[in-house]
Amino acid sequence: MAVLELPQWAALAPALILAGTALVLFLLDSINPHSTNRTLLAGVAVVGSLSSLAVAVWFTAAGVGATGIENYGVIDLMGGQFVVDQLALYFMIIVAIVTALVTVASHDYLRDHTYQAEYYSLVILAATGMSMMAASNSLVTIFIALELTSLPSYALVAILKDNRGSVEAGLKYFLIGALSSAIFVYGVSLVYGATGSLQLTDIAAVLESGDGAVGEMGGLLGLGILMLIGGIAFKTASVPFHFWAPEAYEGAPAPISAFLSSASKAAGFVLAFRVFTTAFPVAATTEAIGVDWTLAFVILAIVTMTVGNFAAATQENVKRMLAYSSIGHAGYVLIGLAALSAEGGELVMGAAMMHLLVYGFMNTGAFLFVALAEYWGVGRTFEDYNGLSQQAPFACAAMAVFMFSLAGVPPFGGFWSKYLLYTETINAAADNTILLVLAAALVVNSALSLYYYSRLVKALWIEEPILDRDRLAQPTGLYAAIIAAAVLTVVALPAFGPIADAALEAAAAVVA
Amino acid sequence: MMIEALIAVALLGALVTFVAPNRIAGKLAFAISLVPAALSLWLFTAFDGSGNALRGGELAFESQAAWIELGEHSISWFVGVDGISLPLVVLTTILCTLAIVSSWTPIDERESQFYGLILFIEANLIGVFTALDFFLWFVFWEAVLIPMYLLIGIWGGPRRKYAAIKFFVYTNVASLVMFGAFIALVFGLGDSVTSFALPEIAGAMLDGGPEGFFGLEGTTLASVVFVAMFLGFAVKVPIVPFHTWLPDAHVEAPTPASVLLAGVLLKMGTYALLRFNFTMFPEQVEMYAVPIAAIAVISVIYGAMLALAQTDLKRIVAYSSVSSMGYVILGLVAYTQFGVGGATFQMVSHGLISGLMFMAVGVIYNATHTRMVTDMSGLADRMPIAVGILIAGAFGYMGLPLMSGFYGEFTIFFGAFGSELLDYSPLFTAAAMFGIVIVAGYLLFALQRTVFGPYRLETDYEVGRAPLHDIAPMVVLLGLIILLGVAPSLIFDMITDAIDPIIQHGGDL
């Protein structure tokens, strides 16, 4: 045994660092409860999330969890309750990046806010939950991580206590969240009842053993799976559990909208990816319950992207438009799960993960731009945004990058991830022709989305301002976060090779 | 690494210009753009490639690096130039520099953003003409749209929003059609291609073509792809009836954007037709030669007739592009050395001449604040130099010998007349030649009314001579037009060298 061998739980370092950061923030606040040293608080949060990012990137690069390397390989923790593999690290990276961007941007957004320390610690705690979700390997730890994410999120949405919209959104989010948690837990209990295990790998083992008892409980298991899908659909804001999203995103402080729509959604998807690839292998589960569960995701994907995009196209409020568009993007990512039934499905899933990573930058950036607009107090509709580029060319250039990237126009990152998703789906469609419909829906929806995304670009750059504005302030933190997100969206282009490799490795970690 | 350097200088220059203060942005962008212009001229002198890039030719300044591996097809950074692309690269860099100088007068707001976008376009245009991986090429191809959309939308004329959106939607939809078709082709080619490198795909097309894809048979798939790609590029060229975005975009765009639009962006369409349709699908070219030639002739005649009906100087020049690009299509479909070579030569020549014409119209507009033929008369008295250049450009358009337009059109007609691939080729050629008469008609008609006769102007502006920095870029262009007219072999030799391998595969001509 080496002298400096780290204990196994150190593999969870990216999540643990976040947890520690939250505690440090509490500590700082209790030492001086009336301090409004927001630079210190935001600084601690940023340093914490960046350290988490650094460790996660280091682990990925060092090959932790990579298959086929001696002495590394997948790390099982705490009796298999947690697992650190490439998939977990990949999503920890997404969460850490979004958290860092959001905390940097919050520095200015929360200028006059009373609950500074609480705000940052709640953000970091939610991020901890998301990181834990990425590594959870049993339905129990998944549920706990899910709630660790959800509870701070409810509070964060409602944190603007004097703003009715914020409080209302928080309440709505909480009620629907509680309902979907209940559904999820019910689903967990049904799955447990049918298979007798909670750990994902054990569930798969039971299903694959072809045990007669499982066959008899097929209906129960199917219902359980459907309920799990419901819980995940809530977390990822997929139709039909999407109604909270536009309200919550609109009412919440804009950095929190960015946080929820990017990081929380990614965490929801890592759950979906892990649960459905590890615990419910397609062939064995189909035999047990009689229905191919990927069918549910096919329907969910098409409905989600269509509803999201059509609703986004009719919005007058920019934040709501972004909220609905993020529902549409959830639909694109769901293709990754829908394609698992076909050969080559792991490539589609890899492409979907890549889309989540790119989406992490561009969507966070877009919401942070809205945060900047709220900071300036320019209003919320498209018309209010008219001609902003004359006063703030850099932020508006960054926003144009986000919009074109979200729409999937080359050369930005969004084009690449959508393209790969598209071609891999077509490729897999050779095996399962229903995927052709998905690929077609992806293209049609992307084309439609160009309409409302370019509308915002047009408002910012081409329309003349309706009213004269005073000189707009240039808050450093918000600017830094937005520009950083834009640079990441553009840099994703040359760096796409390694990103694609990482995503594929992550997908292979659970599918193979 | 020379091509990377070209693109990088323009890209970084775009960034630098974007952050520079408005006051110095124009001069700064000019200084920056001199670097790619000089570099590309150096590339021109040092060019040592031979053959066609897609037919196993020796590429010059080639570089290739692995980029993305996902699934069965790899994507790489793959650039290089052959005799077809090099003249177009030089055209791009020179025209961008001149366009920057010609915007010093008309552009008086948000300068740093304007010049930043021009340099951004330049980088992407160089990319389009040098990329040899389909993906890389498509990225550059689409990336040209965004800055052009903004250039028209922000600095354009009164109907700029309409024109910008029409431009964006038209060309983007066309790109999607073309993109979808090409991806289907690559999947249809099956295991014989493992990457998106154009030479590999072109090679696979020669070795038997696609196997079929989702129920379509190989030959049907090839035909469908050929037609879809042709339509996709036809919008960019543009060919009648897909030309309606062009006059709107041209008329609303600020002068320098029009210069780039007519000078280089339209060539993207014909360049792509040559590289994809006419290089990869020799059999389909043979099959569809007659309809394509018919469309080309209709474009020539109809475009010229439309130009004849205009009273706005800029619209006249804009419609004349439709007509001139029709000649290029005719030359391509002739599929002879002179036809295709002349078409490529005409791409460069039309880039220079139409750029010159738009600049000249822009200078007149700056001075008179009107573009209506009916509003002015006798301008030659007040601004002799600018008007002289306009007249010279018009003669270039009409194909006066010793100017590049003559050589381009002559070789196209010569090539098309003797084409064995195209049925009734003398008939098509004769019909297209009639276009020259109409061109001469509308140009002389417009000139006679605007620049000759007694001075009269129906606006309140006092017309004086244009400043030197407006005249200088036009003089440079005129010099190049005459240079290529006198010594066409400067580029024609390298063009034919790159054309010959295509023709040999095009049905034993």
SS (H, E, C) A252-275: CCHHHHHHHHHHHHHHHHHHHHHH
Does B423 have pLDDT greater than 90?
no
DSSP assignment string, B374-440: GGEE-HHHH-HHHHHHHHHHHHHHHT-TTSHHHHHHHHHHHHHHT-SSSTTHHHHHHHHHHHHHHHH
Burial class for B508, CB neighbours closer than 10 Å (0-12, 13-18, 19+): exposed
Q: Could you report the per-residue pLDDT of B263-309, keeping only the tens digit for each?
A: 999 999 999 999 999 999 988 898 899 999 999 999 999 999 999 99
Does B506 have pLDDT greater than 70?
no
Q: Could you report the per-residue pLDDT of B478-503, keeping only the tens digit for each?
A: 999 999 999 999 999 999 999 888 88
Q: Residue B384 falls within a domain, yes or no?
A: yes
Q: Residue B509 falls within a domain, yes or no?
A: no
Rounded Cα distance between B326 and B271, Å, is 13
The SS3 assignment for B69 reads strand
pTM of the predicted structure, to 2 decimals: 0.88
List chain A residues with pLDDT less than 70. 1-6, 35-36, 65-73, 211-213, 215, 512
Alpha-carbon radius of gyration of chain A: 22
The alpha-carbon gap from B146 to the nearest alpha carbon of chain A, in Å, equals 9
Split into its structural domains, chain B has a count of: 1
For chain A, what's the residue count?
Answer: 512
CA distances from B272 to A506, B169, B231 (A): 38, 19, 12
Q: Which of residues 125-144 of B touch A (CB under 8 A)?
A: 138-143
Give phi and psi for B64, each to the nearest 5.
-140, 135
**pLDDT-based confidence at B190, cuts 50/70/90?**
confident
Is residue B361 within 8 A of residue B390, CB to CB? The reply is yes
Does B509 have pLDDT greater than 60?
no
Which residue did the predictor score with more confidence, B202 or A342? Answer: B202
Chain A residue numbers touching B153 (CB-CB < 8 A): 458, 461-462
pLDDT, residue A1, reads 43
- CB burial of A465-480 (b: ≥16 within 10 Å; e: otherwise) equals beeeeeebeebebbbe
**Alpha helices (runs of H) in A136-243, residue ranges in sequence order:** 139-157, 164-195, 200-208, 212-216, 218-235
Q: Which of residues 208-237 of B touch A (CB under 8 A)?
A: 214
B68 close to A (CB below 8 A): yes
Does B459 have pLDDT greater than 50?
yes
**pLDDT-based confidence at B508, cuts 50/70/90?**
very low
Q: Residue B136 falls within a domain, yes or no?
A: yes
Q: Which of A181, A283, A172 is nearest to A228 (CA)?
A: A181
Domain spans, chain A: 293-511
Q: Could you report the per-residue pLDDT of B97-134, keeping only the tens digit for each?
A: 999 999 998 888 888 999 999 999 999 999 999 999 99
Q: Which helix (H) or strand (E) holds A59?
A: helix A38-62
Q: Could you report the per-residue pLDDT of B155-166, keeping only the tens digit for each?
A: 988 888 889 888
**pLDDT-based confidence at B330, cuts 50/70/90?**
very high
Among partner residues B18, B165, B183, which is closest to A423 by beta-carbon distance? B183
Is residue B361 within 8 A of residue B313, CB to CB? The reply is yes
Are the beta carbons of A426 and B183 separated by less than 8 Å?
yes
Q: Which of A408, A329, A331, A322 is nearest to A365 (CA)?
A: A322
Chain B residue numbers touching A392 (CB-CB < 8 A): none
Q: Residue B57 falls within a domain, yes or no?
A: yes
Is residue A300 within 8 A of residue A334, CB to CB? The reply is yes
List the Cα angle A89/A93/A98 in 5-degree steps.
150
Q: Which of A232, A198, A199, A224 is nearest to A288 (CA)?
A: A224
- CB burial of B181-210 (b: ≥16 within 10 Å; e: otherwise) equals bbbbbbbbbeeebebbbbbbbbbbbeeebb
Q: Which of residues 317-356 of A touch B (CB under 8 A)?
A: 344, 347, 350-351
Residue B200: which domain range? 2-504
CA distances from B432 to B239, B296, B331, B365, B436 (A): 14, 8, 11, 32, 8
**Helix%, strand%, coil% for chain B, nearest 5:** 75, 5, 20
Are the beta carbons of A461 and B153 separated by less than 8 Å?
yes
Give phi and psi for B78, each to the nearest 5.
-140, 105
Count CB atoms within 10 A of the CB of residue A192: 15
The alpha-carbon gap from B97 to the nearest alpha carbon of chain A, in Å, equals 24
pLDDT, residue A28, reads 86
Q: Minimal Cα distance from B156: which residue of A?
A: A462
Largest CA distance in chain A: 74
Q: Could you report the per-residue pLDDT of A122-161, keeping only the tens digit for each?
A: 999 999 999 999 888 899 999 999 999 999 999 998 888 8
DSSP assignment string, B202-241: HHHHHTT---EETTEEHHHHHHHHHHHHHHHHHHHTT-TT
Rounded Cα distance between A458 and A415, Å, is 20
